[in-house]
Amino acid sequence: MPRLLLLLAACVRHGAGFVPSRLPAHSARPAAAAASGLRMMPLGIPKVPYRMPGSQQADWVDIYNRMYRERIIFLGETIDDQIVNQIIAVMLFADSEDEKKPQYLYINSPGGSVTAGLALYDTMGHVSSDVITVNVGMAASMGSFILGAGTRGKRIALPHSKTMIHQPMGGARGQAEDIRVQAEQIMKIKASMVDEYAMMTGQTRERIEADLDRDNYMTAEMAKEYGLIDEVVDSIGTKGADKKFS
């Protein structure tokens, strides 16, 4: 009996990690699986079926890849060069395919690299298609800067999302002259961001400078009043809002 139990446990353990790489065009699946079209891996990124145009079979692709094909981008981590370079590549490709269709950038990020964030900010202004930004959790620091950089009139937030703005931070080490140069660069970046925040929100430079001196948290409604977003959308009206802003 113990040997049989061990064998059954091994079968369950190996079976749980099995996910087919391809899905036949007319395969039979349980009703629940067919309805959701979703496969959850034990660990890692969920996979969903996607059938390429003209293909008879569906491939299992990770959910972010599938979202990219619908012009949906999710920024859900610390902003750094790697994630920003990926987002920029997706934005440029989507813009080259159809510059008249909007792109959706969903944000839930604590912020991160200022230089990487500025690269994404400039790309959002460079592409011809509208970029609809959506705060789905927390848009803090550089995340708030990206949120406000969406196409004017098409920056939205979910009701319980939070936004936080503050001045850029940095560290320097080395000789006194090196530290002075780094400090000057940070002050130049701060001045540039003050100008951009003022343009995004319609607030004066003086107020922006004062508000950036500390961690300044805002609810969704406060962010709307401040000018960082244009609409607060509840979960029931999201689809209607998508149509409204597209």
Q: Average pLDDT by consecutive 10-residue portion of the chain (246 residues)? A: 39 34 39 49 74 80 85 96 97 96 97 96 98 97 98 97 91 77 89 96 97 96 98 65 55
What does the DSSP 8-state code read for residue 5? H
Do 195 and 239 lie in one domain? The reply is: yes
Tokens of residue 161, six digits: 């999302």
Residues taking part in catalysis: 141, 166
Do 45 and 139 lie in one domain? The reply is: no
Range of the domain at 50: 38-69
Quote the pLDDT of residue 141. 97
Tokens of residue 209, six digits: 């400078």
The half-sphere exposure of 153 on its side-chain side, counting CA atoms within 13 A, is: 5
Quote the pLDDT of residue 14. 37
Rg of the chain on CA atoms, in Å: 23
Quote the pLDDT of residue 23. 38
What 3-state class would DSSP assign to 92?
Answer: helix
Query: What is the number of structural domains in the chain?
Result: 2
Quote the pLDDT of residue 16. 35
Separation CA 18–CA 116 (nearest Å): 38
Quote the pLDDT of residue 244. 60
Do 89 and 65 lie in one domain? The reply is: no
Do 142 and 180 lie in one domain? The reply is: yes
What does the DSSP 8-state code read for residue 168? -
Q: Are strands 22-23 and 131-140 parallel, antiparallel or unpaired?
A: unpaired
Quote the pLDDT of residue 20. 32
131 and 200 Cβ atoms separated by less than 8 Å: no
Do 76 and 52 lie in one domain? The reply is: no
